Amino acid sequence: MDQFLKGYDLNLTTWVYLSSLLTIAIYFKFNRLWSVRNLDMLALVAMAPGLLLIDIGGKEHRDDLLYRGYIWLFVLGACFLLRLVADSWMVRRPLLEPNLTTGGLTFIGVALLVFLMVNVITKSPSKSDLEGPRMLDAMLRRERPADGEQALAKHGPGFPLLFLMPSITTKAISKVAPAVPEERGPYMVQAATARTMAILSHIAVVLGMLMIGVWHFDNIRTGIAAATLYLLLPYTARWTGYVDHVVPAALLVWAVAAYRRPMVSGMLLGLATGAIYYPLFLLPLWLGFYWQRGLLRFSIGYVSMLVALVAWLAFASSNLDHFLAQLKMMFGWTSLSSPGVEGFWLFHVSSRPWRWPVLAAYAMMCAWFALWPSPKNLGSLLSCSAAVMLGTQFWLTSSEGVYVAWYLPLLLLTIFRPNLEDRVALATLGENWLIRRGLLLRRRAA
């Protein structure tokens, strides 16, 4: 950024303080101190210290700071999870608008988006991902690197090509990271692809939140407020250029935005499942939502996208063993294994067995969402989807708690949403083509 604004130098710690003050100033309701909205804002602000501890601990190689950061996010995530589960009981949803006008919110949102995207453009890929493009080139040439599966497995389950995109490190939020001359040539295409995907995905998240405000909340200011807060939070600034963080977020937001088109929502959710695997656990909830109407269309869209991704893997694989290895990674075959675990469960060997009860409780919660609440409306679909994606942070094997973008946009939409009890599938979805065709033929026969 200092290439365009001379003297501009803003580190992550300073941005945490500044964005926290702006969040309270814009969204805190000072005339209703004990409102749930204020508690939500304070909890969002409280997320910053945990992320900052993890960032500093990783940079300075201090395990004590890392562990404190993971504990912080673990406890705060549990509080958010209880908040999301209880959201379906909060039927009184008074309209608590931000303290800033719509024009002011729009200006801040656009400015933040421009600053963050320029930051992605001017930064270099992180050195930890230098091996990714080499393996991607080998896969596209249908070769099989000797250490391919081991290097891929450290990223966790998901679509291999997504994880092979280099991350764009923006932690300084200012100065350009030093380039690696010997790697600059081979990395130019992959880095440009990663930057493009990150920028387009953030724009998609913002537009998706705006459209949900217009189409489903009937209040564009609510959508602008949620999107601006998403751009304002320190997490977005720190992990702006990480494709595996933001791409699933964009897909999930637009799956919610397109809920009146079950096939489109199914395709987007299927694409998110193929990308990072964990949205698979959203399936009971979404099937329960479309149970009365739209189930077949949603299922066709979901399955067709997974089949297309599997076909892509088959085309990009050099042989059957390579294809099966990538298929196992895509569908989470390695997600339960202990090797390569990072985050909260890494620091005490004696605590790792407790990960299995947490996983069992998570599976029970996902199954429970298939039946509760009943009937499901758009509000419960939002809050429970955020709860499912938040729940993955307690047991996934790759840096638990750091993948905030997977649930953050849905969490913000849940916080700002109005009462949506009338937005149920049976009332908002039209009948599918086969039923309409059958009724038309019956009328003609009569």
What's the pLDDT tens digit per position in 100-139? 999 999 999 999 999 999 889 888 776 666 565 566 555 5
Q: Which tokens go with 89?
A: 């009981």
With cut-offs at 50, 70 and 90, classify the pLDDT of residue 178: very low
Q: Which tokens go with 77?
A: 């995530």
Least confident residue range of 20-29, 84-93, 435-444: 435-444
With cut-offs at 50, 70 and 90, classify the pLDDT of residue 182: very low
pLDDT at 79 over 90: yes
Would you state the pLDDT for residue 57? 87
Would you state the pLDDT for residue 185? 56
Q: Considering only residues 57 and 8, tell me which one the structure prediction assigns the higher pLDDT.
A: 57
pLDDT at 171 over 70: no
From 251, 227, 243, select the one nearest 111 (Cα to Cα): 227
Q: Which tokens go with 119?
A: 């930051």
Write the pLDDT tens digit of every residue in 387-399: 999 999 988 766 6
- Long-range CB pairs of 49-52 (<8 Å, 24+ gap) are 49/16, 50/76, 50/401, 51/234, 51/235, 51/238, 51/402, 51/404, 52/12, 52/13, 52/16, 52/234
- Residue 377 forms beta bridges with which residues? 424
Average pLDDT, the chain: 84
Would you state the pLDDT for residue 217? 96
pLDDT at 428 over 70: yes
With cut-offs at 50, 70 and 90, classify the pLDDT of residue 170: confident
Write the pLDDT tens digit of every residue in 195-253: 999 999 999 999 999 999 999 999 999 999 999 999 999 999 988 988 999 999 999 99
pLDDT at 181 over 50: no
Would you state the pLDDT for residue 1? 52
- On the CB side of 191, CA atoms within 13 Å amount to 21
Q: How many CB atoms lie within 10 A of CB 275?
A: 21
Say what angle helices 12-27 and 220-232 make with each other, to 10 degrees.
Answer: 160
Q: How far apart are CA 405 and CA 47, in angstroms?
A: 13
From 425, 329, 322, select the one nearest 380 (Cα to Cα): 425
From 233, 279, 244, 262, select the one nearest 426 (Cα to Cα): 262
Q: Give me the torsion for CA of 362, 363, 366, 372, rounded to 10°.
A: -100
Cβ(331)–Cβ(157) below 8 Å: yes
- Residue 241 forms beta bridges with which residues? 168
Write the pLDDT tens digit of every residue in 244-300: 999 999 999 999 999 999 999 999 999 999 999 999 999 999 999 999 999 999 999
Least confident residue range of 176-185, 307-316, 371-380: 176-185
With cut-offs at 50, 70 and 90, classify the pLDDT of residue 317: confident
**Which DSSP letter does residue 168 get?**
B
From 378, 415, 411, select the one nearest 35 (Cα to Cα): 415
**Residues 6+ away with beta carbon under 8 Å from 367:** 284
pLDDT at 442 over 80: no
From 442, 248, 311, 285, select the one nearest 370 (Cα to Cα): 285
Q: How far apart are CA 2 and CA 108, in angstroms?
A: 20
pLDDT at 174 over 50: no
* DSSP for 264-318, written as a single string: HHHHHHHHHHHHHSGGGGGHHHHHHHTTTTTHHHHHHHHHHHHHHHHHHHHHH-S
**The most confident of 64-68, 147-151, 269-273, 350-354, by mean pLDDT:** 269-273
Q: How far apart are CA 232 and CA 243, in angstroms?
A: 19
- Residues of the chain above pLDDT 70, percent: 78
The average pLDDT across 294-316 equals: 94
